Structure 1
Amino acid sequence: MNHRQAVHALFECCPSVTWASTIVDRRPYASYDDLFRAADTELGELSEADIDEALTGHPPICSRLNRFRSAQEQCAVVVSEDEQEMLRSACASYQELFGFRLLCVPAGRTAPALTAEITGRMHNDRDTERKVMRNELAKINHIRLERMLGPEEGYPLY
Structure 2
Amino acid sequence: MIDDGPETRSLLTTALHVRRWVDEVASGCPYPSLDALVGVADLAARPLSTAEVDEALSAHPRIGATTTGLSTAEQSASATDDPALVAAMDAGNRAYEERFGRIFLIRAAGRSRTEILDELHRRLGLSDDDESAEVADQLRQIALLRLRTLFAS
| TM-score by shorter chain over 0.5 | yes
Deviates more, 1:38-47 or 1:51-60: 38-47
- Show the 5 A alignment for 1:100-115: 100-115=102-117
d(CA) in 2 for partners of 1:27, 1:2 = 5
Q: Which runs of 5+ in 1 are unaligned?
A: none
Q: Distance in 1 between matches of 2:108 and 2:4?
A: 34
Q: Per the alignment, in what secondary structure is the counterpart of residue 62 of structure 1?
A: coil
1:31-61 deviation per Cα after TM superposition (whole angstroms, max 9, x unaligned): 3333222212221243321221011111111
Deviation at 1:5, TM superposition (A): 3.6
Which secondary structure state, in structure 2, belongs to the residue aligned with residue 135 of structure 1?
helix
Where does the alignment leave 5 or more consecutive residues of structure 2 unmatched?
none
Query: What is residue 78 of structure 1 aligned with on the other side?
Result: 79
Q: Distance in 1 between matches of 2:68 and 2:17?
A: 22
**What is the deviation of 1:107?**
2.7
Q: Which has the larger radius of gyration?
A: 1
Q: State the TM-score, normalizing by the size of structure 2.
A: 0.83
Deviation of 1:21 after TM superposition, in Å, equals 1.2
1:76-155 to 2 correspondence within 5 Å? 76=76, 77-79=78-80, 80-150=82-152
Please give the per-residue CA displacement for 1:53-110, whole angstroms capped at 9, x wherever unaligned. 011111111204xx7877x943222221221010111111111111121111223433
Distance 1:73 1:134 in 2: 21
Q: CA deviation at 1:131?
A: 1.1
Distance 2:4 2:110 in 1: 37
Q: 1:25 and 2:35 equivalent?
A: no
Match of 1:49 among 28, 51, 61: 51
